[in-house]
Amino acid sequence: MADAAKDTTGRRALALFVPYRGRLTLIGLAILTTSALGVVTPFLTQRVFDDALFVPGGPRLGLLTLLVGLMIAIAAVSAVIGIGQTYLTTVLGNRVMQSLRDRLFAHLQRMHLGFFTSTRTGSIQSRLDNDVGGVQSVVTDTASSILGNVVTVVASVIAMLALSWQLSLVAFVLLPVFLVLQIRVGRVRRKIAARTQSSLSDMSAITQETLSVSGVLLAKVFGRQDQEIARYRTENDRQTTLQIRQTMSGQSFFAVVTGFFALIPAVVYLVAGVLASRGDTGISAGTLVAFTTLQTRLLFPIVNLLRVSLDVQTSLALFGRIFEYLDLVPSLQDSPDARPLAKADARGEVEFRDVRFRYPADSADPDDVGPWALEDLSLRIAPGQLAAVVGPSGAGKTTLSSLVPRLYDVDAGAVCLDGTDVRELTLASLPGLVGMVTQESYLFHATVAENLRYAAPDAGDEQIRAAARAADIAEHIEGLADGYDTMVGERGYRLSGGEKQRVAIARVILSDPRILVLDEATSALDTTSERLVQQALETVMSGRTTIAIAHRLSTILSADVIFALDHGRLVEQGTHDELLARGGLYAQLYAEQFGGGAVEARCADGVRFTDGKVLAARATDHSPAA
């Protein structure tokens, strides 16, 4: 089974070179030419000794000059061809790796959200960086190295047999033993390589988790720096040990092979002497010199082939890890008859029809399934409505918001936009229809303008400024030292929480979605920031269907319809006043937050309210609640 998997991995690795057949052909011709020229030189050496130097009557200088000239010319031509071959090989190897990295990155981009929630980011980065980087040298050099060494070995063996089959038997007697040993060493090295890459993956994950801004902040807050240092040091020690084992595995084997080939010339001289003493005069001085020259030439290709074979074993382990990711099938794909829904044609109606959904299990066991996150959920949001979704933690609110833009597929039922199941719409058309503002708005380590243009790459400067004004963040941006060219820092840490949210809102405004999903967009903000973000949201919600997910009921009192969820089920719906009068889950949540009116919510603009009604303005920002 393991051998079959190895063969499959090998074939798939070789298939990476298929698009570059032209370059491979040129490299092959260059190798054949240089290898053929390399074999010619020992025969010229034989002629130098037997026909030009040690001949009756003294050296024949004319023939000697010709032979030496040919030897110099062959060396020069081989050098020029070698330069071209190196260039072609380098280009080929790097293009193959570029294609592999592109394929892997593109494939990961298409994976469903659940894959990333169950996989460490550092592990994913390790596949792209460490695994692909680990096979790069093998891919760059191996193809030409194998072909060149094989051709050299074959040509040298033929030439050696032509010179003396008796001496050839002496030179080749132990090669089968070396091949068997090489296979065994290769298996060991492949296992060590797999463990080494797994350790590298763990190190990358530790680095990504602990040296990010959030990770460093967490370690400082809880005083865990020493523990994190110890955790990294432990994994680094394991990695170093594995690297040493991987480097040293097979070194004794190569020492034996090299020593054998170093001793063979002496044995050849002895055998030649024995044959000459018995009257075998077929081995002349020139033949002996040519044979030992070929034998020396044979040493390096064989050792290189053995080394390359072990490197291939190592690279197969890395290729196996890369193909493991490439073989993952994205759970979200366009159906054969999927069609786009143009933004201009969309009305913005959202409907859940008997939806059942549970998150995919992390394990490969099909029986290992979690509870239903949503069960038998049916609701409808009319175009242009502001719909609020409330409920206790774990009720399924965020799950509901994730199904609208089809970040996951339902297990049963359907989520429909304008009456069409989202699974019948192309995935590419959904981001233009549905925009999201989440609790943690992610900003890249780039300028404000670049972060905004992420939603609309072709947006002009005036469009960006207009979106910032609509999100009530333009004045702050323009007050920065570099304005819209200001770097926001890793994850936007140079901005406050409210500022990041308003930049995220401006980004959504630029994308101009027909349906807006607000997933806890203000729950992590202070009241002042919440007020500013709410003002920005009122602008972006205008004329759009909006689904607001919130724990803080102060953000959804003006909703057209409120849906209350509990344990993944819709338990009630209606307006704020209707649900309060009903005395159900919504009234309970409201009472918990506002004390049924005994505890008053205070707004950042100086207004106090209870039961959704304004009571009075407070004198200062620091006055106590009445």
Q: Are 322 and 132 in contact (CB under 8 A)?
A: yes
pLDDT at 4: 52
Q: What is the pLDDT of residue 376?
A: 92
Residues 6 or more apart whose CB falls under 8 angstroms from that of 291 comprise 42, 160, 163, 164, 167, 268
The confidence score (pLDDT) of residue 476 equals 87
pLDDT at res. 360: 74
pLDDT at 351: 95
Closest alpha carbon to 359 in 378, 372, 346, 376 = 372
The pLDDT of residue 599 is 40
Residue 400's pLDDT is what? 93
How deeply is 500 buried, as exposed, middle or buried, from its count of CB atoms within 10 A (0-12, 13-18, 19+)?
buried
Structure-block tokens of residue 451: 């972060």
Helix ranges (H only) for 349-457 are 397-403, 430-433, 448-453
DSSP labels, 10-25 = HHHHHHTTGGGHHHHH
Task: Identify the CA nearest to 459 among candidates 517, 513, 507, 495.
Answer: 507
Asked if 161 and 316 count as a contact pair (C-beta separation under 8 A), the reply is no
- In contact, 273 and 226? CB cutoff 8 Å: no
| Side-chain half-sphere CA neighbours of 442 within 13 A | 4
Write b or e for each residue in 118-146: b if 16 or more Cβ atoms lie within 10 A of its Cβ, otherwise e: ebbebbbebbbebbbebbbebbbbbbbbb
- For residue 448, report the phi and psi dihedrals to the nearest 5 degrees: -60, -45
- Residue that the structure tokens 């990010």 belong to: 212
Tens of pLDDT, residue by residue over 521-533, are 666 566 666 677 6
- Position 177 scores a pLDDT of 64
DSSP 3-state assignment of 495? coil
**Distance of alpha carbon 488 from alpha carbon 503, whole angstroms:** 10
Question: Which domains, ranges and CATH numbers included, belong to the chain?
Answer: 2-195+248-326 (1.20.1560.10), 350-440+508-574 (3.40.50.300)
Beta strands in 284-371 (DSSP E): 350-357
pTM metric for this prediction: 0.67
Taking 50 as the pLDDT cut, the residues of the chain under it are 1, 596-626
Q: Kindly compute the dihedral angle of the four CA atoms of residues 240, 245, 246, 252, in this order, to the nearest 10 degrees.
A: 150
Concatenated DSSP letters for 23-59? HHHHHHHHHHHHHHHHHHHHHHHHHIIIIIISSTTS-
Nearest-angstrom CA–CA distance, 357 and 412: 7
- The DSSP annotation for 408-431 comes to S--SEEEEEETTEEGGGB-GGGHH
Q: Which amino acid is at 35?
A: S
Specify whether the CB–CB gap between 415 and 404 falls below 8 A: yes
Query: What pLDDT shows up at residue 383?
Result: 93
Which of 378, 349, 387 is CA-nearest to residue 548?
Answer: 387
Phi and psi at residue 341, in whole multiples of 5°?
-115, 110
What per-residue confidence (pLDDT) applies to 622?
Answer: 31
Q: Tell me which residue has tokens 């298929």.
A: 18
**CB-based contacts of 393: which residues, under 8 Å, 6+ apart?**
551
Other beta carbons within 10 Å of 171: 26
- Residues 88, 33: Cα–Cα separation, whole Å: 15
Distance separating alpha carbons of residues 208 and 122, to the nearest angstrom: 6
Angle at 322 between CA 321 and CA 328, to 5 degrees: 95
